[in-house]
Amino acid sequence: MHVRKVPKERERELSDVKRVYAFGGGRTEGNRDMKFILGGKGANLAEMAKMGLPVPPGFTITCQACMEYYDSTPPAFPEGLAEEIAEYVSELEAKMDKTLGDVEDPLLVSVRSGGAFSMPGMMDTVLNLGLNDASVQGVIAQTGNERFAWDSYRRFIQMFSKVALDLEGDLFENAMNVMKMDRNVANDTQLTAEDLRELVDIFKGIVSEHTDAAEFPQLVVDGSVIFPQDVAIQLRLSIEAVFRSWNNRRARDYRKMEKLDDSLGTAVNVQTMVFGNKGDTSATGVAFTRNPADGTNELYGDFLTNAQGEDVVAGIRVTQPLADLPKVLPEAGKELYEVFDTLEQSYRDMCDIEFTIEQGKLWMLQTRVGKRTARAALKIAADMVDEGMITREEAVMRVNPAQLDQLLHPQFDVDATYDELAKGLNASPGAAVGQVVFSADDAETAAAEGRKVILVRWETTPDDLHGMVAAQGILTSHGGKTSHAAVVARGMGKPCVCGVESLKIDASKKQATVSGTDTVLHEGDLISIDGTTGIVVLGAVELVEPEVSGDFDTILSWADEFRTLGVRANADTPDDAALGRKFGAAGIGLCRTEHMFLGERKDILQDFIIAEGQEGREDALAKLLDVQVGDYLGIFEAMDGLPVTVRLLDPPLHEFLDSPRELEVEIVKAECAGMSAEELAPKRRLLSLIDSMTEMNPMLGLRGCRLGIMFPELYAMQVRAITMAACELKKAGKDPRPEIMIPLVSLKAELETLRAETERVVAQIQAECGVEIDIPIGTMIELPRAAIMAEEIGQSADFFSFGTNDLTQTTFGFSRDDIEAKFLPRYLERKIMPRNPFETVDEGVAKLVEMGCAGGRAANPGIKLGVCGEHGGDPDSVRVFHEIGLDYVSCSPYRLPLARLAAAQASLAESAGTSDNR
């Protein structure tokens, strides 16, 4: 796994002393290139301030300060940080000519997280800090708006208590809901100033009742916990809470999913508050300079009048589309549109923007390069090349290879018939079918059991991340296209339908009703969702794979121009081969013949294994030869003109025999039914034979090339079938290019022996057919000894293909099937291993591959070198294989676009002398 961390060229900028940087108000110390110090949010706030855009002043505490906080046990501010923060608070107060906690004209600030890489909603925020029982009166005096002041205070208590004091948010939501019911109102905005003042007292009572005095002794007054009135304590606890949020579960889960380094830390941004809830001339919103769902060059987003930012992303109120803003607030709307253009031209990319309009005045709270779907990423990159904004090379580097997987997910079959149950917002494209679950924990449990589920929520929160990862898709009854569910789902490539207002969810009963219908959805019911159209369907809709075309083809065609690493497909059937060719494979790097011996053919192979005489074996081989020739004809024809590497039989033979225990049960049942000993004799002989072939560790036993040496006629049959099929196609004017791969070689003599036997059969068949075809013969390097002794083995090989799945197992000395279900999760959790070595190639395994390449080329300068394990489709592993200097990687057909793009990016990064730290 290519974990994104501080690049070497940035390390020299990291200060051991300076931990706080100012922005806005006439003095800005940072810029957008300092995201590993100031975090993305802090770096971009500094950049916007330097550009002269309206940014509320503030200061940023560095990411390194966060990690210093964790260096202490228990975590604590590093020495000198509190004093440095105090200096910058004083500077901010001077800039604003206001003081935190002042009773006449108080300064209020927000405290926000901001890592080097965007982690939307994963960490914590506190707004309206600086309010207390005295300063709220100052806000009333300054604004003349008593309702606004008490609404801001209740919001602060609610947010601070959840984030800094770790109280349950439902305690406050429930109290508010009770008040709304008592007042017979539907929305928060309908509560009066007096209602909100009363709610503040209720909220403070909740804090007193539920806060742990031992954990927060600074809040204890006269033996009781009170909500902190000292603004210095408010600020200290809020900063510490944001630091702590770096290691909350959802943040850790997100970093694991996005392959982000845990040691990066988060910055903390302390910024002057501006208010979108000061009446109808105030507003707040989230916007993108282009459509993040499909890439269309249009302004996209939501806003709310008389609201604060969390109201937009939380889905609490129905938002308005950004296109309506100039109609509602013409001057601010026009200025905002100009800012969009300025930012996109400056960043040369689609920007994600948060803004607030306070009594007609526009303020920019954040910008960053926006997250987008794969479809949007491709279109935006291609369009920006056409617009002359970026180069083709930059366009290729802009698209995350792993994200392309989104475009290869199913969609509703256009020919399918179904009844629309409900419709919401098309928040994240793609379609999914699954059983309904109403909680993230239930989704995670169901996925662990192998069930496909749709997570159905009123609206997701960052705490639901583990369930969103586990689910096939997400469905919510509230929230807009910039809500948490929408943003996170798009980033993960999960289908998502938001804002289905007709869906009434009762999570406690694990059911939902749909307004205007008699439908009741219970947990376990099957539904289908289409995140491209926003449709929800009861039952399963047939899904189809999308076509690769348009911008997808454009970007991949550019990638193919830049990459030097070849990309082949792993394919065992003509259909897989055709699919691989469709997705741009330059051949087949692994055709596993054992997959051809399943189903009815397993009985034929079993007849060969248990045959008591040569005649019986020959009969079985003759039957296998016929079907094998047909197999290879289809695959070679689908890959006409391209190489097809066929691996001879690899698994232990006992895998093709009946289960001995099932056979034993069958014998016992037959005995009980009165079957005679004579009738049972054949079954007993078979059981005895199967038991005799059972090995203590079959994956290290009689398999691979050892089978070919022990049963030479089996490999000879396969070689005969490969050659016969190739000769038949050659005669028909086709261009078959088979390659024969001998598996699990560890000794030079093994390969020499089997190569000689293979060449003899090839020559015999070609002579019989009167056709000459060059058929390279190579081996699979999947044992450490083979990699170490590659210089010897390479003398008898035309190619090496590194089987990194088995090479990983044999290098570590463990079984993949066992460790992934047992101790690997604990190893990853405790960071004993940095990543799953079966997903991303381990550095030790990579060194063996590098050693094998060097040895092979020393023995045979013209040797072809490739990888055919699952790592061939992992973008981070592809980068490693490019650096090693392999000729090609091979992966499953659906991973081919990822591998092609990753190979191009590795080549471009090498040419530029940079690493990928997007």
Active site residues: 484, 868
CA-based angle 141:146:149, to the nearest 5?
Answer: 85
CA-based angle 266:272:274, to the nearest 5?
Answer: 115
- 3-class state of residue 229 by DSSP: coil
Q: Angle, nearest 10°, between helix axes 146-163 and 231-245?
A: 50
Ranges of beta strands (E only) in 116-208 are: 125-129
Residue type, 817: D
Residue type, 255: R
745 and 704 Cβ atoms separated by less than 8 Å: yes
CA distance 49 to 342: 13
Count of other CB atoms within 10 angstroms of residue 91:
16
Closest CA to 117 of 288, 264, 289: 264
DSSP code string of 364-413:
EEEEEEPP--HHHHHHHHHHHHHTTSS-HHHHHHHS-GGGGGGGGS-EE-
CA 702 to chain centre: 39
CA end-to-end span of the chain:
14
CA distance 782 to 793: 13
- 3-class state of residue 283 by DSSP: strand
Cβ neighbourhood burial of 673 (10 Å; 0-12, 13-18, 19+): exposed
CA distance 112 to 325: 26
Largest CA distance in the chain: 104
CA distance 243 to 113: 8
CA distance 375 to 676: 67
Please state whether beta strands 888-891 and 864-867 pair in parallel, antiparallel, or not at all (unpaired): parallel
> Hey, which residues does 527 pair with through a beta bridge?
434, 538
Classify the phi-psi angles of 97: left when phi > 0, otherwise alpha if psi is within -120 to 50, otherwise beta.
Answer: left
Residues 6+ apart with CB under 8 A from 83: none
CA distance 723 to 740: 10
Mapped to the 3 state alphabet, what secondary structure does 460-484 carry? CCHHHHHHHHHCCEEEECCCCCCCH
Residues 6+ apart with CB under 8 A from 661: none
| Whether the bond into 74 is cis, omega within 30 of 0 | yes
For residue 187, the 8-state DSSP code is S
Closest CA to 427 of 275, 326, 291: 291
Count of other CB atoms within 10 angstroms of residue 679:
10
Give φ, ψ of 102 to 5 degrees. Answer: -65, 145
Count of other CB atoms within 10 angstroms of residue 614:
9
Residues 6+ apart with CB under 8 A from 853: 790, 800, 865, 884, 885, 886
CA-based angle 555:561:564, to the nearest 5?
Answer: 120
Closest CA to 22 of 80, 68, 89, 78: 89
